[in-house]
Amino acid sequence: MIKIENLGFSYGKTPVLKNITLNLEPGKIYGLLGENGVGKTTLLTLVCGLKKAQTGSISCDGIDPYSRNPEFLSQVFYLPDEVAPVPSTAIAWAKSLGPFWPNFKIETFSSAMKDFEMDETMKMHKMSAGQLKKTYISFALACGTSYILMDEPTNGLDIPSKAQFRSAVLKYTRDDSTILISTHQVKDLESMIDPIIILDRKDVLLNASVEEITSKLFFDYGSILRQDALYAEQLPGGFIQVCPNTTGEDSKLNIEALFNAVHNNKELVKAIFNNE
């Protein structure tokens, strides 16, 4: 369990996060959404211990990440948006770094690379950006950690690779892992992230499961504009609209529409989900 309480962080005099409180449970794949600059990457680096909380606290199963406790470090993998090429073959690189994570399996790395249609004997510094990203994703999944933190993992991936990514995450991660994925590419991950977190600089606007979201908000794909719509966007043949779900109807979640509805109605949506 990751517990974040009243977390605050600033770069100099510029506040990025303020009074952020979250609980992240094992066995779930969280999607972390937010506008540019709200602190998504900063939050990931705080959770993995690369930065120190300036106010509030972070606890991962009772351990402060910034303590750099070896037990914690062996159970976390952080995949940044930009990854470094190294003058080594992928398989040699994986074998050299893998022992730092006690649950690492080179067989899983090789299998994931195969799923990505990658040659594990290829030199990493000769790979394209997409190939390099797939190599790092394969390594992250092979580490078998309790916490996997990914920052924009589908950036640089082509359409087939994005499908392979979704399949690989579901195939290779432990059932009790806590996975936190920061992304702007919500359509790439719409079928797998649940719960969904929408972050603001000073608040968590939403932290809810897909089931809870669709029980409280209705996603209408009709051709008539509704007066109660929190957000509406015209599509070919009609609209996608997000409305309060007052009748308990089932609907299909649209994450982009959800994000815009939350962003445009911050206090109202918080009230809906807090039953105020």
* C-beta separation of 124 from 90 below 8 A: yes
Task: Answer with the one of 205, 228, 250 that is the final residue of a domain.
Answer: 205
pLDDT band at 243 (very low <50, low <70, confident <90, very high): very high
Give how many domains the chain has, as a whole number: 2
pLDDT band at 190 (very low <50, low <70, confident <90, very high): confident
Residue 83 has pLDDT above 90, yes or no: yes
Residue 275 has pLDDT above 80, yes or no: no
Q: Are residues 81 and 139 in the same domain?
A: yes
Average pLDDT over residues 67-78: 95
Residue 9 gets which letter from DSSP?
E
Other C-beta atoms lying within 10 Å of the C-beta of residue 179: 22
Average pLDDT over residues 212-241: 93
Q: Are residues 157 and 247 in the same domain?
A: no
Q: Are residues 144 and 228 in the same domain?
A: no
Q: Are residues 196 and 229 in the same domain?
A: no
Task: Answer with the one of 205, 234, 257 that is the final residue of a domain.
Answer: 205
* C-beta separation of 14 from 39 below 8 A: no
Q: Are residues 106 and 234 in the same domain?
A: no
pLDDT tens digits for range 128-186:
999 999 999 999 999 999 999 999 999 999 999 999 999 999 999 999 999 999 998 88
Q: Are residues 96 and 15 in the same domain?
A: yes
Q: Are residues 127 and 188 in the same domain?
A: yes
* C-beta separation of 45 from 228 below 8 A: no
Could you give the angle at which helices 159-172 and 129-142 cross, rounded to 10 degrees? 10
At 15 the pLDDT is 87
- The domain spanning residue 108 has which CATH number? 3.40.50.300
Q: Calculate the average pLDDT of the chain.
A: 94
Task: Answer with the one of 148, 178, 205 that is the final residue of a domain.
Answer: 205
Rounded to two decimals, the pTM is 0.93
| Amino acid (1-letter code) at residue 251 | S
Q: Are residues 234 and 133 in the same domain?
A: no
Q: Are residues 190 and 236 in the same domain?
A: no
Range of the domain at 237: 209-273
Q: Are residues 52 and 144 in the same domain?
A: yes
Average pLDDT over residues 246-257: 93
Q: Are residues 135 and 43 in the same domain?
A: yes
Average pLDDT over residues 117-121: 97
Residue 42 has pLDDT above 80, yes or no: yes
Q: Are residues 180 and 135 in the same domain?
A: yes
Strand partners, 10: 15
